[in-house]
Structure 1
Amino acid sequence: MISGMDAEYTALLAEARDLWALIRLQFQNLLLPSRLWQVAILVAIFAAAHLVAAIARPRMREWMRGLENRPTWQLRLLLTINRRLRLLVFTVLVWIAVWIAREASPFPSRSFLLALAASLALAWVAVIFAARLVRNPVLRSVVRWGLWVYVTLVVLGVADEVGGALDGVAFSFGSFRLSVLTIIKAVVILSALFIVARFVAAGSAERIRRNEEISPSMRVLAVKVLQIVLYGAAFFIGLKVVGVDLTGLAVLSGAIGVGLGFGLQKVVSNLVSGVIILLDKSIKPGDVISLGETFGWVGTLGARYASVTTRDGKEYLIPNEDLITGQVVNWSHSNTFVRLDITFGTAYGDDPHKVRRVAIEAASAVERVLTTRPPVCHITGFGNSSVDYILRFWITDPAGGLTNIRGNVYLALWDAFQEHGISIPFPQREVRVLNDAIRVEDGLAKGEG
């Protein structure tokens, strides 16, 4: 007596043998003596396509080097054509051979093998260009090879038999049955839906970013919400189409969510902080901020962190939680006006009224210093060797740097003081060695005695 497991295994083995017999029969049918001349033609066409591609590919690359100003999508298309030139030439030549064979013979079945090869080649070419829609290289390769296998089975006419064999390899969990065919369908459908969602999200995000009526922070928030909605809808629709019970999935995802909530507190905190930042508009892309020793402008606001680029080209990824809980100086929160202070000192012999006037004129002549908000200069104290001043001026482009504008103002003060005879004193000290003086006086006293 055969057990249930043995019976299922025997049935699967029988189906696999039938499928292999069908495939073997198809190939034997293709290699009948009456069709060997078509095989010879296909070999000749492949050799000709290989020769044409070997000659034309380097010349095409040289021609493409002069097209650097073309749009990126055109360059990618030309690069794909260059890489697949042999298959493209083979497809064109084999279709020409099919047309000639059908015109020369009144029996289309005699050119069956050529027509089959032409259909396969055309389908493979279509798959190559369709796979270019996927940006990720690894995912693109998976999609390309998967579609190649599928269209090959469809053209050969064994897709239903292969599908039945794959559906027979299954695992049962209570009332839920999971087969290899179901897994493949889920991967294909989810991949297709995610690709569609990515295109819709990219197009919608571009329109949102170009809308000047929406604030920058709300644009980022709208793009993030749109992406979450589209990708989430693609995921659940894909599972529903495949036939997965979403009720059980909801219970399972709830249990997993509770467990992950305890282990991912920081991640969740950063996500919530990112939403708060986007809603209260305290920080937005393009703002100039300083957090601790980091000074730069905000490039992007992500779900977990904010990208801040400094003047020296470094890009800091600051967690959103730090922007909420820490003290952040936003130089351009409500407006772009920034006041800068520099200090200096002059000698006591210089007229302080003249010094203030010359300093204000020198600062006003520096590029980036505002004249609508004129600089001011005040005396802050009388030091040990100089009269101390503070010079204050305004700029509206803190992203252009603060150290460089301070340096330019200091240089303008130096040139103006040199021109007007104003001196900048420096401390001087006199050192007297008292012990040597005492020894000299004692020696003179002893000599006189």
Structure 2
Amino acid sequence: MGLSFMRIDQVVMSGDGFYQSMAYHAYGQLSLSSFVLQCALCLASIALAYGVRHWALVRLRWQGPWLRHVRSGIQTMGAAVVTVLFLSTLFWGGRVLGLSAHDLMVLWKVLALTLWVLAIRAGGWFFRHVLHPHEVLRIFLHLFEWAAVAVVVLTFFGLFQPITAYIQAIEFSIGEQVFKGANIVTGVLMGVVALTVAGQIADVVDRLLQRYARQETIQGNDALILTRLFSMGIFVLTLVGVLVSSGIDLTTLAAFAGAMGIGLGFGLQEFVVNYVSGLYVLLERALKVGDYVTIDKITGRVVQMSSRALVVRDAVGTESLIPNSSVIKGVLQNHTLSNDDFRVSFLLKIADVADYPRARELILQSLKNAPRVLPDPAGDVLIASVAAGEVTLETSFWINDLHNGHKGLISDLMFDICMLFRSEGVLLASEGADLFASAKALTPKALGTEWLLR
């Protein structure tokens, strides 16, 4: 007994197409009742396996990265695993009852077929969830996985050879270039495999460069430039190699490249402009991931730099996609280009200008006690404006951890300053206005004639 599902031991597999398949010869080797019973058991095992998989996915609500991988594994391979268990139980149960492997050939061959399908799906799951490919590569992996499953199933029923013969017979020409069906299918399959491998290599190179960038071995912008150039180069070379191996003449390929260039000039012009603009921004080092910038009245931190656009996250968490061409054409304000120092300021109003020296001293004391405020450059407190009943003070200071936010820091400083003002008798503008209103309410005119008679 082997794991081959394409032949039966000691049986000559004659015939063409379906009549050469294992399924047809098993029908001829077994009695009708045995063949039908085993087919029914196989179908019931597959149906029960999908039912068990559905039950497991509904009942098991797991969280966490590794548990999500387990759940994904159940979704991908669960039905095949349960089918293998059911068919193995039925097969070895029949052997215990005294039946030979030849008598149970349908169960055994379907079990072998399911093991091959399980191996293919397990390989696809491994590449998708362990190597972490991006979405395009996931699509390619799905296509390759299901193509392999289709080949296995069609071979089991003897339909793969007739289909390949029909495809090989296809032949047509466009101009002087002759296209054959076999070359087209081979080129598509090679393209899926080659682009999947090339994309995975590019992804691995990207991760290595990003890791070196985090270790400050190379700059982050240099890592992005190398990643994009390497990805573009490997995909172009892979595409050219697949087209040449598919039987396309180099002259035709050159004409195709010229037509593609015209198409890029019109249909994909904006994409090309953004791609080139992104490379220019990286080469110019105008900004990098983590910088705090203002572009087109959008202020926030750069969290991603893709081939087409920047992703800027503002203070409330909104992420804006800004095309790379807008960065080149518009005004870019990088608040942390040369260093991470960032100036923060806020306003406070006190009631009396005579309290300014004491208020300034208390505010500077509060800034000195705040661990996030930089001692150099030193903070300062200036009079911004003077009006009736109020003096506006502008407090400014520097921080170098803007990624932690600054509104919470301002709130903490204001609270600390107000508590110091209260303990030292420095009145805020609103408190001074309240005291003035209270004093005005105690004038003789407000108290009336009863106050005069006392």
TM over 0.5: yes
**In 1, Cα distance between the equivalents of 2:50 and 2:282?**
54
Tell me if structure 1 keeps the 8 A contact 2:186–2:246.
yes
Paired residue secondary structure (2:429) = coil
Deviation string 1:129-179 (CA, Å, 9 cap, x unpaired) is 233335667655543442223223445566444322211122222442223
Tell me if structure 1 keeps the 8 A contact 2:57–2:71.
no
Match 2:73 to one of 77, 84, 108:
77
Tell me if structure 2 keeps the 8 A contact 1:38–1:114.
no
**In 2, Cα distance between the equivalents of 1:262 and 1:22?**
49
Relative to 1, partners in 2 of residues 1:94 and 1:386: Cα closer, same or farther, differing over 3 Å? same
Which residue in 2 is equivalent to 1:420? Answer: 424
Tell me if structure 1 keeps the 8 A contact 2:291–2:302.
yes
Using the TM superposition, give the Cα deviation of residue 406 of structure 1 relative to its aligned residue in structure 2, in angstroms: 3.2
Deviation string 1:218-267 (CA, Å, 9 cap, x unpaired) is 12222222221222222222222222223312222223313431454433
**In 2, Cα distance between the equivalents of 1:52 and 1:269?**
52
Tell me if structure 2 keeps the 8 A contact 1:60–1:82.
no
Tell me if structure 1 keeps the 8 A contact 2:42–2:87.
no
Relative to 1, partners in 2 of residues 1:304 and 1:44: Cα closer, same or farther, differing over 3 Å? closer
- For the pair 1:401 / 2:405, whether they are aligned, the reply is yes
Give the structure-1-normalised TM-score.
Answer: 0.77
Paired residue secondary structure (1:84) = helix
**In 2, Cα distance between the equivalents of 1:407 and 1:348?**
23
Where do 1:130-141 residues align within 5 Å? 130-132=123-125, 133=127
Relative to 1, partners in 2 of residues 1:257 and 1:32: Cα closer, same or farther, differing over 3 Å? same
**In 2, Cα distance between the equivalents of 1:276 and 1:85?**
52
Deviation string 1:183-210 (CA, Å, 9 cap, x unpaired) is 3222211111111112212222211111
Using the TM superposition, give the Cα deviation of residue 336 of structure 1 relative to its aligned residue in structure 2, in angstroms: 0.9
Relative to 1, partners in 2 of residues 1:292 and 1:416: Cα closer, same or farther, differing over 3 Å? farther
Which has more radius of gyration? 1
**In 2, Cα distance between the equivalents of 1:79 and 1:31?**
33
**In 2, Cα distance between the equivalents of 1:45 and 1:381?**
87
Using the TM superposition, give the Cα deviation of residue 72 of structure 1 relative to its aligned residue in structure 2, in angstroms: 4.8
Match 2:120 to one of 121, 127, 135:
127
- For the pair 1:228 / 2:232, whether they are aligned, the reply is yes
- AA aligned to 1:143 is F
Tell me if structure 2 keeps the 8 A contact 1:57–1:82.
no
Using the TM superposition, give the Cα deviation of residue 415 of structure 1 relative to its aligned residue in structure 2, in angstroms: 2.4
**In 2, Cα distance between the equivalents of 1:275 and 1:144?**
35
**In 2, Cα distance between the equivalents of 1:98 and 1:229?**
58
Tell me if structure 2 keeps the 8 A contact 1:339–1:394.
yes
**Structure 1: gaps of 5 or more residues:** 1-19, 431-449
Using the TM superposition, give the Cα deviation of residue 394 of structure 1 relative to its aligned residue in structure 2, in angstroms: 1.2
Tell me if structure 1 keeps the 8 A contact 2:351–2:389.
yes
Which residue in 2 is equivalent to 1:294? Answer: 298
Which residue in 1 is equivalent to 2:335? Answer: 331
- For the pair 1:214 / 2:218, whether they are aligned, the reply is yes
Tell me if structure 1 keeps the 8 A contact 2:391–2:429.
no
Paired residue secondary structure (2:354) = coil
Where do 1:327-406 residues align within 5 Å? 327-348=331-352, 350-366=354-370, 368-380=372-384, 382-406=386-410
Which residue in 1 is equivalent to 2:38? Answer: 41
Using the TM superposition, give the Cα deviation of residue 61 of structure 1 relative to its aligned residue in structure 2, in angstroms: 6.7
- AA aligned to 1:421 is G
Using the TM superposition, give the Cα deviation of residue 55 of structure 1 relative to its aligned residue in structure 2, in angstroms: 5.9
The farther-off stretch of 288-297 and 64-73 is 64-73
Deviation string 1:252-284 (CA, Å, 9 cap, x unpaired) is 222331343145443322212100111122211
Which residue in 1 is equivalent to 2:244? Answer: 240
**In 1, Cα distance between the equivalents of 2:369 and 2:95?**
80
Using the TM superposition, give the Cα deviation of residue 303 of structure 1 relative to its aligned residue in structure 2, in angstroms: 0.9
**In 2, Cα distance between the equivalents of 1:248 and 1:94?**
58
Tell me if structure 2 keeps the 8 A contact 1:35–1:110.
no
**In 1, Cα distance between the equivalents of 2:205 and 2:197?**
12
**In 2, Cα distance between the equivalents of 1:28 and 1:97?**
25
Match 1:285 to one of 289, 295, 316:
289
- For the pair 1:195 / 2:196, whether they are aligned, the reply is yes
Relative to 1, partners in 2 of residues 1:242 and 1:71: Cα closer, same or farther, differing over 3 Å? farther
Percent of pairs identical after alignment?
21
Relative to 1, partners in 2 of residues 1:424 and 1:230: Cα closer, same or farther, differing over 3 Å? same
Corresponding pairs, count: 407
**In 1, Cα distance between the equivalents of 2:86 and 2:364?**
78
Relative to 1, partners in 2 of residues 1:72 and 1:197: Cα closer, same or farther, differing over 3 Å? farther
Deviation string 1:330-352 (CA, Å, 9 cap, x unpaired) is 12211111122334443446243
Where do 1:27-66 residues align within 5 Å? 28-32=24-28, 34=30, 36=32, 37-47=34-44, 50-51=47-48, 54=51, 58=55, 62=59, 65=61
Tell me if structure 2 keeps the 8 A contact 1:61–1:82.
no
Which residue in 2 is equivalent to 1:177? Answer: 178
Tell me if structure 1 keeps the 8 A contact 2:385–2:393.
yes
Q: For the aligned residues, what is the CA RMSD?
A: 3.6
Paired residue secondary structure (1:283) = coil
Tell me if structure 2 keeps the 8 A contact 1:50–1:86.
no
Using the TM superposition, give the Cα deviation of residue 293 of structure 1 relative to its aligned residue in structure 2, in angstroms: 2.9
Tell me if structure 1 keeps the 8 A contact 2:17–2:161.
no
Relative to 1, partners in 2 of residues 1:169 and 1:90: Cα closer, same or farther, differing over 3 Å? farther
Relative to 1, partners in 2 of residues 1:257 and 1:391: Cα closer, same or farther, differing over 3 Å? same
Using the TM superposition, give the Cα deviation of residue 123 of structure 1 relative to its aligned residue in structure 2, in angstroms: 2.3
- AA aligned to 1:70 is W
Which residue in 2 is equivalent to 1:252? Answer: 256
- AA aligned to 1:130 is G
Which residue in 1 is equivalent to 2:84? Answer: 88
Relative to 1, partners in 2 of residues 1:158 and 1:249: Cα closer, same or farther, differing over 3 Å? same
